[in-house]
Amino acid sequence: MDRAELGSRALFPDLAAGAYLNHGGISPPSLPVRNAVTRVMEDYARLGTGAIHHRIEERERLRGKLAGLIGAEQGSDIGFVQNTTRGATDVALCMPWRAGERVLCMTGDFPANVTPWQCAAELFELDLTFLPQPTASTLDAWLETLARELQRPTRLLAVSTVMFQSGLRLPTDRIGALCAAAGTELFVDAIQACGVVPVDVRRDGIDYLTCGGHKWMMGLEGAGFLYVAPKRVSRLEPRVAGWLGHEDALAFLFLGPGHLRHDRPLLRRASLVEGGAQSSVGYAALEAALDLLQGAGIEKIHAHVNRYIDALEPELVARGFASERSADPAARSGIFSVTPPRGIDVVALFRAIDPARVALTIPDGRLRFAPHWPNHTDEIKTVLAAVDGALAAVRK
């Protein structure tokens, strides 16, 4: 059986860049992920519709594994959604809103966790308020601001567990406690956390969690998941339900006449949001990727990537870059971001970095390094050579 050996790229034989540091963007698929996709394709190639029974079994198994990853009680708390946005949209559309209710979201958050709330605010006449975005140095003050804001009746708080620009990991345990005390529901976008940062929805009192599969989970685009806390699910309005959202939805296809009815009760679990046919290859990829992550252990992966960042950070600071990393290990993720030395334009610098040496990106004007379990500190000399070459080219 394949396993993830921390610091080894053996399962990524085709990866072009000397150092692939863009797991906060899209992760390359490992060999087990590629093999899982091929197996599904071959199954459909042989059996056509007959292959769907295997997929149904696999998907139920995957629900249980995802529940384990995030500390959920059971697989039925997990629904499959295409991406992070879709999970937010489904909750935003299905909440039993009353006009005038207040929703808090965050300035500078990734738009996937803002646009759905803006749309819901328009549709349901909600009061959408923006909190400022915390940084490593303002996090305590930000928590005080949040506590003050929650003194006003607030239906829902929507935040990302890890800031996509700075990599700051929010203390979802403290946020969850504030929300619980205020009677506010907590929605989190966890795509920059799941797979690299331990997540525990029950410990933290998270009501809803959405996550795409293509970043730290190391699956594919188009196959993510949504968690809905059991106490919330029965109150959701089934506004996005589709044909697979009913009890015994498949009965009319396989059990003969008399089963095609349009009055079957709607599901009262997270899979209510699934609608119709799902990405079979996407979920096969997600399961294979998750098996590798779980085999290595999320705590160990978090420690591994932070050892890598520990080695890289002082080198960049010595070159005049400003680090946005928190001094508090509990507030760190897999993302390490810097802003360039004075007088250096981040876009020009990024364009001058040799992509054959290092793959990274510049979201919201930061140079973002995002290593995962296959990265090894031996690569850091290649990263620094690429950065030095780019600095010299831009300064010329």
Ligand X SMILES: Cc1ncc(COP(=O)(O)O)c(C=O)c1O
Interface with ligand X (CB under 6 A): 83-85, 110, 112-113, 160, 164, 189, 191-192, 212, 224
Q: Which is closer to ligand X, CB of 219 or CB of 224?
A: 224
Q: Which is closer to ligand X, CB of 11 or CB of 83?
A: 83
8-state DSSP, 363: G
Six-digit token pair at 59? 């998907």
Cα–chain-centroid distance for residue 22? 14
| CB 224 to ligand X: min, Å | 6
Q: Which is closer to ligand X, CB of 106 or CB of 301?
A: 106
Beta bridge partners of 78: 227
| CB 206 to ligand X: min, Å | 15
Beta bridge partners of 127: 102
| CB 181 to ligand X: min, Å | 26
Q: Which is closer to ligand X, CB of 30 or CB of 113?
A: 113
| CB 292 to ligand X: min, Å | 20
Kindly list the strands in the beta sheet with 367-369, ordered across the sheet, starting from the edge strand earlier in the chain. 322-323, 336-339, 367-369
| CB 91 to ligand X: min, Å | 13
Neighbours of 145 (CB within 10 A): 14
Backbone angles phi, psi at 79, to 5 degrees: -115, 150
Q: Which is closer to ligand X, CB of 196 or CB of 386?
A: 196
Q: Which is closer to ligand X, CB of 17 or CB of 112?
A: 112
| CB 83 to ligand X: min, Å | 3
Beta bridge partners of 172: none
Look at the block and give the residue holding tokens 């959405």.
210
Q: How far is CA 262 from CA 94, 243, 246, 277, in A?
A: 21, 9, 9, 18
Q: Which is closer to ligand X, CB of 83 or CB of 337?
A: 83
Q: Which is closer to ligand X, CB of 226 or CB of 267?
A: 226
Q: Is 121 helix (H, G, I), strand (E, B) or coil?
A: helix
Cβ-proximal residue to ligand X, closest one:
212
Task: In the chain, count H helices and then E strands.
Answer: 13, 12
Q: Is 240 helix (H, G, I), strand (E, B) or coil?
A: coil
Six-digit token pair at 92? 């935003």
By the 10 Å C-beta count (0-12 exposed, 13-18 middle, 19+ buried), 124 is classed as middle
| CB 17 to ligand X: min, Å | 19
* Strand positions, DSSP E, the chain: 19-20, 78-81, 102-106, 127-131, 156-160, 185-189, 208-211, 224-228, 322-323, 336-339, 358-359, 367-369
Tell me the C-alpha distance between 342 and 157, whole Å.
37
| CB 363 to ligand X: min, Å | 7
| CB 248 to ligand X: min, Å | 31
Q: Which is closer to ligand X, CB of 95 or CB of 191?
A: 191
